[in-house]
Amino acid sequence: MELEVEELVPETIAGYCGLLAPLISYGLIIISMAMHGGFRLTQSSLSDLGKVGAQYNNVFNFALIISGILFLIFILGMLRRTETRVGDIGVFGLALGAIFLSMTGIFPKGTSPHMLMAILFYSASFGGLTLYGLDKFLEFEPVWAVFVWSSIGFAAISAGLVSTLSPTGLAIYEIIGTIPLIQFSLVFGTHLLTE
């Protein structure tokens, strides 16, 4: 008997992982911010919370590692929801993004692969989201396509507006950049649980 990749993760487990990934991630990131009194959204990068030698850096790095694993499980469950090659490639991009998110925690700021892992996380995730939206459009499910694309557009516009304030740090941009992934994870995680 041959096992298909999409059969590895039951939709219920994937749905719960989709809900838990952003909640655990941002819960631990907020705790990490509270533990670092000098951290400022407009003057720091999120990776400063987990950099080599920072006090309590394991809290932030664990947040990235565990949320990447949970998001990967969720994405594997989403494979059943694509019907085109474009969708499969989009889900593959999102899966790569999840792996790179975990790798960003494994290689914290101060190690040579950290910046590359962070760039690959955002690139793969946004590419995957864009293609997943195109898959929904090609499947004649325009509401889902508009939802995915509008969340990306909202993040881009928000980042542009924030740039007019000239923040000196990246944290605010990093948070804005994850909003589409949080929305995707929460909405489609719920969708997996309710269908």
Tens of pLDDT, residues 43-86: 888 999 989 988 899 999 999 999 999 999 999 998 888 888 99
The model's pTM: 0.91
Asked if residue 24 lies in contact with residue 186, where contact means CB atoms within 8 angstroms, the answer is no
Tens of pLDDT, residues 130-189: 999 999 898 888 888 898 999 999 999 998 888 888 888 888 889 989 999 999 999 999
Q: Identify which of 165, 77, 93 has the alpha carbon closest to the alpha carbon of residue 134.
A: 93
Question: Which of the 8 DSSP states describes residue 48?
Answer: G
Domain count, the chain: 1
Task: Domain of residue 173: give its range.
Answer: 5-194
Q: What are residue 111's DSSP bridge partners?
A: 109
